[in-house]
Amino acid sequence: MPIAFVGLTASALQSARDSFSQTNSARLLLSDQWCVDAKPAFRLLCPSKMNKWDVSARKVACRAVFALGCFVFIQLVGARGARAESPRKVAGFEALGTLGYGVAVGDLTVRDTEVAPYGVILGLDLGYTLPFGLRIGADVSHGFGRRIEETDSTGEVVVTHVSSSSFGGSIGYDLLLPLFRLRGAADLGMFLYDGQGGYIPGASYYIGPKVALIWQYHAFELGLQSKYLLTSADGPDNHGVVQVGLMSGARF
């Protein structure tokens, strides 16, 4: 009887082991089949999502570009309107008085006599500026000159005092900066010379650049300017005229 029980128990254990092995094999087979089926499904699913995301991204980008364009357009229109209403207008007529000082670059001599026809300079500058910044102007000035004393070869003291007057025009451009107006221009005109000490009156042409920095408050203007002018009276020892000064006036 015990021997039969042991044989029965061993037979039951063997059948249970075989059943468990078959179950695990079925589970592994189903798992492998699911993995094989899931890969094509994922491959089919992902491209559609990527395409949808790509279309959405393009729509967002287009809307962002459109919004940015609208913003820039509004800012430009607003800036133009603000500039038109600003008290610092570029366009208009202006009248400026000038006070400066001029010196010849080198020694300016006439018939072996040194002269200084510039010195302190008073002037008037009139001009009109177009809305886009181009300025056309005309100016007149008078240089009081400097008194020069020299001793000639005979020991005699020679005194010369030559003055100058200028008449000319200019064409340039006004650039409106946040606090100032920057002006660049080219001057063209004529100097007339007159003096004492045996000096014979004469004349010369001039041409050269001019730069000015102007501060404006409503109609009032105040600025600095400098000029470098080449003249037909320049000689081997003289290379033009430098003028630096203040300018003040009003814009209408």
Reduced 3-state DSSP string for 177-199: CCCCEEEEEEEEEEEEEEEECCC
Look up residue 71 and give its amino acid: F
- What pLDDT score was predicted for residue 2? 43
* Tokens, residue 28: 């592994």
* Tokens, residue 240: 């033009």
The whole-angstrom separation of Cα 234 and Cα 242 is 13
63-88 tens-digit pLDDT: 766 776 676 566 555 444 444 445 55
| pLDDT of 119 higher than 80 | yes
153-211 tens-digit pLDDT: 777 787 888 999 999 999 999 998 888 999 999 999 999 998 876 677 889 999 999 99
Look up residue 225 and give its amino acid: Q
Residues with Cβ < 8 Å from 5, sequence gap 6 or more? none
- What pLDDT score was predicted for residue 20? 46
* Tokens, residue 210: 């001019």
Look up residue 11 and give its amino acid: S
**Cβ atoms of 114 and 164 closer than 8 Å:** no
Q: Which of 34-43, 103-112, 127-136 shows the lowest mean pLDDT across its residues?
A: 34-43
Angle in degrees, CA 88, 94, 97, rounded to 5: 115
- What pLDDT score was predicted for residue 186? 97
14 alpha carbon, distance to own chain's centre = 95
* Tokens, residue 138: 């005309």
- Backbone phi, psi, residue 188, to 5°: -145, 130
- What pLDDT score was predicted for residue 14? 55
- What pLDDT score was predicted for residue 195? 84
Tell me what the mean pLDDT of segment 231-238 comes to.
80
What percent of the chain shows pLDDT beyond 90?
A: 39
Residue 119: how many other CB atoms lie within 10 Å: 18
* Tokens, residue 125: 């500058």
Residue 155: how many other CB atoms lie within 10 Å: 6
